[in-house]
Amino acid sequence: MDIFAFVLLLLSSSLLLFFFVPSDAADGIAKSESLTEGMTLVSRDGSFALGFFSPGNSDNRYLGIWYNNIPGRTVVWVANRLNPINDSSGMLMVNSSGSLVLLSQNTTVAWSANSTKKAWNPIVQLLDSGNLVLREEKEENPEKYLWQSFDYPSDTWLPGMKLGWDLKIGLERRLSAWKSPDDPSPGELSWGVELHNYPELVIKKGTKKFLRTGPWNGLGFSGVPNLNDNPVYTYDFVINSDEVYSIFHLIKKSVISRAVLNENTSSYERYIWVEADKKWTTYISSPKDICDTYNLCGPYGNCIIGESPICQCVEGFKHKSPDTWNPDEWSKGCVRITQLSCEDKDKIGFAKFVGLKMPDTTYSWVNGSMNLNECRVKCLNNCSCTAYANSDIKNGGSGCAMWFGDLIDIRQVAANGQYPSMQDIYIRMPASEQVNHKEEKDKQKMKLIVIVVVSIAVVFGVLLILYCISKRSNFREKLENNVMIDQNVEGQSEDMEVTFFTLATLATATDNFSSNSKLGEGGFGLVYKGTLVDGKEIAVKRLSRSSGQGLKEFKNEVILIAKLQHRNLVRLLGYCIEGDEKILIYEYMPNGSLDSFIFDQTRAKVLGWSMRRRAGAAVACA
């Protein structure tokens, strides 16, 4: 072999080594490796894959991450959203300076990771969370990344992904919807954290606000009550000097869930993968109704689902355009009924409102160390302050949030503030209107409800008495017309209308009236549990010989009980008269009698008011 051929062979070997591609089972690539068309990286647990794809009906090629084990390729992240590759020449690699780049035609940079730190021994790895990271191969801290895809989300929010701001470097993590199923480039719809003094999550269409969650109050967002009251995920909102972000985590690792910003439906949607049906199911979506529309009702307008019109004025305010109050005029909002004067503070106070989504916090101020009374005084002394509230409602409430200027984007979230994540807000009012308007309205409603309930109860009681009188009258008439039976050898008669049992049959059924068969006892005798030869269970009431009840009275009792049948009363099955024995045979009740429920603190909870009322009616008529 001549020297020229040897040099060519050496160069070829070096190039092959530099562009070595990993196997499909690999979860990362090192500095000497690359990823090309037809190859994928797969996270260690097999959840996610990284590779090249074409969305929808498009022929363009993109580098993306998708769920590896879910059919249909659900893409959660795209690298070159703004710069697609129009052929199959795409190649992902770590260049000589340690930066992650996506090349087209082996020379053109279609996309690159914005890493500000130089890597000496870099490795690119796809994590089980779906996060693509660039890090030093021998870094002791496995979570110290030079760059990560979670900092540059597309349209999908994954568990463990921060949505918000890294204040130290001025990085905003914000979702942006795909333009269409065929085009993953950013559309008009975006979602992120608005950095006011009192931060909140906001969806925008272009530069205009479209939907607002309300500020975080320690338990949830005021416009999304009971956010953490679900079996799928937990939610948190972090605010400190370094970061402001929202994050969620799945409660069960077996659950697969993602949140997506959808341009076509102009909505935020959370999905759960249902393995049995092999499809994604919508768990929640926003906006959930028209009142979620940003500032639909204008200043001091309260959007209330079920009201007509849907936009009502907050108590103490009136329509700004009462003569033209229609949907086209809603955004004009409301104005005060009584104007305020800053000079006379004795005539100014605050009215408490509950169950409202907190107003837009663009013009707000927060102090976490103040209490509610200090907050009130500070707001009262500032003529521009229109409302105040606790900024955190955990553990009884703490901190101070104040609003300045008109209050906008208010809606009724709870009918009476029953949700634990509800915030009370105090709105500046004339002294003559310093009442809790919502509580006053609720009191009036409660009075009306009490009057209606009492009226119904009285009418029901009268009807029940008349019904019982009628039943007793009819029963006495039947009883007086009944032919009294004559005693025979066995005490049996065709007029008794119930089955006659022999003493021997009952003795066999109760193991000769064994104490082990005894259910209870009272002043009139003992009660035993018995089992007939056909397996039917019965309750045997053996009347005491000292009860003083004669044969005639006993027969009358049998007739009376036999005729008085009701679904809430135990049914009489038969009787026995032999010698001195007088016995009643009832249907056996495995759950015991009613008193075992009423007077037991645990079992009493089983009986609802409707069941108690029916049982009471039966007893009253008997």
Give binding residues as ranges.
541
Nearest to 284 by CA among 271, 265, 266: 271
Residues in the annotated binding site for ATP = 541
State phi, psi for 11 to the nearest 5 degrees: -65, -40
Residues whose CB falls within 8 Å of the CB of residue 404, separated by 6 or more in sequence, listed in order: 363, 364, 365, 382, 384, 385, 386
Distance between CA atoms of residues 425 and 174, nearest Å: 30
Distance between CA atoms of residues 48 and 148, nearest Å: 15
In contact, 220 and 204? CB cutoff 8 Å:
no
Nearest to 179 by CA among 201, 154, 212: 154
In contact, 288 and 227? CB cutoff 8 Å:
no
Distance between CA atoms of residues 23 and 270, nearest Å: 34
Strand order in the sheet with 75-78: 41-42, 48-53, 62-67, 75-78
In contact, 72 and 99? CB cutoff 8 Å:
no
Q: Which two tokens stand for residue 409?
A: 């984007």
Residues whose CB falls within 8 Å of the CB of residue 579, separated by 6 or more in sequence, listed in order: 503
State phi, psi for 147 to the nearest 5 degrees: -165, 150
Task: Give the three-state DSSP class for 618.
Answer: helix
Q: Would you say the C-alpha torsion 428, 430, 431, 435 has a positive or negative sign? A: negative
Distance between CA atoms of residues 375 and 89, nearest Å: 63
Distance of CA 203 to the CA centre of its chain: 21
Q: Which two tokens stand for residue 567?
A: 């679904």
Neighbouring CB atoms inside 10 A of 151's CB total 18
